[in-house]
Amino acid sequence: MRARCRDSVIFALLGSGDGEEVDVRNRVRSRRRRHNPLRRRSDVVETWTAVAVAVLLFVCAPLAGAAAGLWAHDQARTVAAAQRADRHRVRAEVIGRPPAELPSVEGSRPRSFLVAVRWTEPGKGPRTATAAVPAGTGRGDVVDVWFDAQGRNVAQPAGEVAVWQHTLTVGAWTTGGVVGLVLLGSAVIRRVSLRHRLAEWERDWALTEPQWTRRRA
């Protein structure tokens, strides 16, 4: 009652304009919310935690994923460029006999197998080596094989598709990791806040219960 009378006096002193009255009402309501006696410290902590979680989920997590994706993209392009500079492709003829049965890998059909191949290198004549060729390749077929500067059979250099796949994978996993950490931290804070709220209720009830039951503490 006293608060209402005080607010009415404030309205009368500050003027009767609509804009001023609305502004004063907003200030009074804001002051009441700040000094709400029913609002405990745990409620304030939980409110600010919800705000922080929202910012982390919708701002920080996407930014972290984008930053990690850009870093992974630069690294993948550097690796791909190094592979293209070190590896070269040759057109080779399969001279070895493919195995009659290819061993399965983890229950699936293998994509390649090792077999002897031969090709002619300009200025050095015919050369032979053992290289991995796609499954289903027969003797006498001509396939593309890759070798590095030391003459070892290697995989094809990573292309733009592989670079972008790596970029999106790193960005998605980073974003998911940040989201998981934020949600885990939020759950821990909410659990601790709940314990504090229950403790506050117990303390308040210990002070209020004797008055309700007309007993002294």
Contacts of 160 (CB under 8 A, 6+ apart): none
What is the distance in angstroms between the CA of the first residue and the CA of the last residue of the chain?
A: 30
pLDDT in tens, 61-105: 999 999 999 999 999 999 999 999 999 999 999 998 887 766 555
Q: pTM score > 0.85 for this model?
A: no
SS3 36: coil
Q: Are 24 and 14 in contact (CB under 8 A)?
A: yes
State the pairing for strand pair 142-147/112-121.
unpaired
pLDDT in tens, 108-159: 555 788 999 999 988 888 999 999 998 888 899 999 999 998 889 999 999 9
112 backbone dihedrals φ, ψ, rounded to 5°: -155, 170
